[in-house]
Structure 1
Amino acid sequence: MSKTFFVTGTDTDVGKTTSTLALLQAAAARGLKAVAFKPVAAGCEIMEEGLCNQDVLFLQKHSTLPLQYEQVVGYSFEPFSSPHIAAEESGVTIKLDVLSDGLSRLQKATNADIIFVEGAGGWRVPIGNGHFLSDWVKYENLPVIMVVGARLGCINHALLTYEAIHRDMLPVAGWCMNRVNPAMSHYQANLETLKSLIPSPYLGEIPYINKPHEHGLGHYLDISSLL
């Protein structure tokens, strides 16, 4: 059975995809069969293959096993907005069982050693009909990896996210810092404060990198605690 982790962010645009690519590469460096799954992808472009999301394409490319685009994503929406708005504008209802079926098919088809499921937005992102994506994570009982975007306010965002995950009775298997703002004031002090306040394993920090998907990222994270 694959080890499966849900990757959440402390907010939107904190580097979930960058961190998930780093996790995939770190697992590959250990000789593990590692794949990724994106339950909901909003902000897609119409290509020959249909609706495609750039982040999903990155996850597909950096998985260590060959995957079809449809295996990597649950729902794809053209509007670039919160999942519940994108779904409504597309005339689609996001169903939790569809997400579960997609993850289950990926687990069975690949026999991967480890699967990283990349969320959308932050922990409590709505998906419609009063549901949140976190409801599905709870249903699947997935351990969570938290990505902290290094910018002003990150301590508050990280601690509130951490508390929300624990209130949902899920373990935070680890967390990492992603430096989204290279000019952040007192970056090291913020990082050390978070290390002292978050009891879950610290996986590492990803520096600010232009076009991170074109670089090797796996050496920035230590995933030994996940294994």
Structure 2
Amino acid sequence: MQRRQFFIAGTDTDTGKTLVACALLEAAKSQGLSTLALKPVAAGCEETAEGLRNSDALLLQQHMTLPLPYEQINPVALRSAIAPHIAARQEERRLSVDRLVGLCRGALMQRADLKLVEGAGGWRVPLNERETLSGVPVALNLPVILVVGMKLGCLNHALLTVEAIRRDGLPLAGWVANQVDPQMSCFDDNLESLRVRLGAPLLGVIPHLSQPTAELAAQYLDLTPVL
């Protein structure tokens, strides 16, 4: 169902998109739902005997229920852990919205109760000279779940990201507050500021976890508004 397909965006890099995506997969699995997740482009991959592999994409593969091959989960794997368009240029490759959309569509045809597509970096991370990764969820018409990395500056990042998402014509299906900074000042005040301004369901507040796992993070999520 279209309403159970979502794009996982973050307010910045290192906000915990993959942790939240895997937690959503675990929460859905605990309700007996089938799941799949994609990371169409990943920058920062290691060479293995099976080829280039990205740790985030491997985590998605581990926590989803459908047995998709890695190449379908992460069809574009780039070596350097830098902006995707720069990493692609270093490897003399070219990224485009059309190609990534086509790769995603094939996998999204699989039957599953919950389907997630995880982005890379923030909403406007470039793919090439003209396009940004946000063109992928727009072309796929995917509602967005936003992961807000709770730290100094998150209010501006979150509000600007949501403004861009809505300007692109997509609904914000929900958001997750992930406390990436354990020493964040006025955490509750910042959380309330976002709650009254974002205009979408808060799916959960994940506290700073010294040893984060998807199973542990899933305990702080409520999927009811998106399911």
TM-score by length of 2: 0.95
- Partner of 1:98, secondary structure, is helix
Q: Structure 1, residues 74-119: CA drift from partner, whole Å, max 9, x if none?
A: 31000110011011111111132332232222223x3111111110
Q: Could you say which residue in structure 2 is the equivalent of 1:30? A: 31
Gapped runs of 5+ residues in structure 2?
none
Residue type of the alignment partner of 2:178: N
The farther-off stretch of 215-224 and 44-53 is 215-224
Q: Structure 1, residues 145-165: CA drift from partner, whole Å, max 9, x if none?
A: 111001001111111111111
Residue type of the alignment partner of 2:124: R
Aligned-residue CA RMSD (Å): 1.3
What does 1:183-194 align with in structure 2 at a 5 Å threshold? 183-194=183-194
CA contact (8 A) 1:58 1:213 kept: no
- Distance between the aligned counterparts of 1:168 and 1:16, measured in 2? 20
Q: Could you say which residue in structure 1 is the equivalent of 2:112? A: 112
Residue type of the alignment partner of 2:41: V
Q: Could you say which residue in structure 2 is the equivalent of 1:81? A: 82
Superposition misfits of 4+ residues, deviation over 3 angstroms: none
What does 1:133-152 align with in structure 2 at a 5 Å threshold? 133-152=133-152
Q: Could you say which residue in structure 2 is the equivalent of 1:90? A: 91
What does 1:149-160 align with in structure 2 at a 5 Å threshold? 149-160=149-160
Query: How far is the alpha carbon of 1:185 from its aligned partner?
Result: 0.8
- Distance between the aligned counterparts of 1:74 and 1:47, measured in 2? 15
Query: How far is the alpha carbon of 1:215 from its aligned partner?
Result: 4.3
CA contact (8 A) 1:43 1:78 kept: yes
Given the alignment of the two structures, is residue 223 of structure 1 paired with residue 193 of structure 2, yes or no?
A: no
- Distance between the aligned counterparts of 1:219 and 1:67, measured in 2? 26
Q: Could you say which residue in structure 1 is the equivalent of 2:43? A: 42
- Distance between the aligned counterparts of 1:126 and 1:89, measured in 2? 15
Q: Could you say which residue in structure 2 is the equivalent of 1:125? A: 125
CA contact (8 A) 2:8 2:117 kept: yes
Gapped runs of 5+ residues in structure 1?
none
Query: How far is the alpha carbon of 1:14 from its aligned partner?
Result: 0.7
- Partner of 2:93, secondary structure, is coil
Residue type of the alignment partner of 2:127: I
Residue type of the alignment partner of 2:52: L
Q: Structure 1, residues 28-48: CA drift from partner, whole Å, max 9, x if none?
A: 111111111001100000001
Residue type of the alignment partner of 1:58: L
Residue type of the alignment partner of 1:46: E
Q: Could you say which residue in structure 2 is the equivalent of 1:208? A: 208
**What's the % identity of the aligned pairs?**
49
Q: Could you say which residue in structure 2 is the equivalent of 1:16? A: 17
Residue type of the alignment partner of 1:10: T
Residue type of the alignment partner of 1:123: W
- Distance between the aligned counterparts of 2:211 and 2:133, measured in 1? 28
Q: Structure 1, residues 165-208: CA drift from partner, whole Å, max 9, x if none?
A: 11111100000100101111111111111111111111011111
Residue type of the alignment partner of 1:150: M
- Partner of 1:7, secondary structure, is strand
- Partner of 2:225, secondary structure, is helix
Aligned length: 226
Q: Could you say which residue in structure 1 is the equivalent of 2:197? A: 197
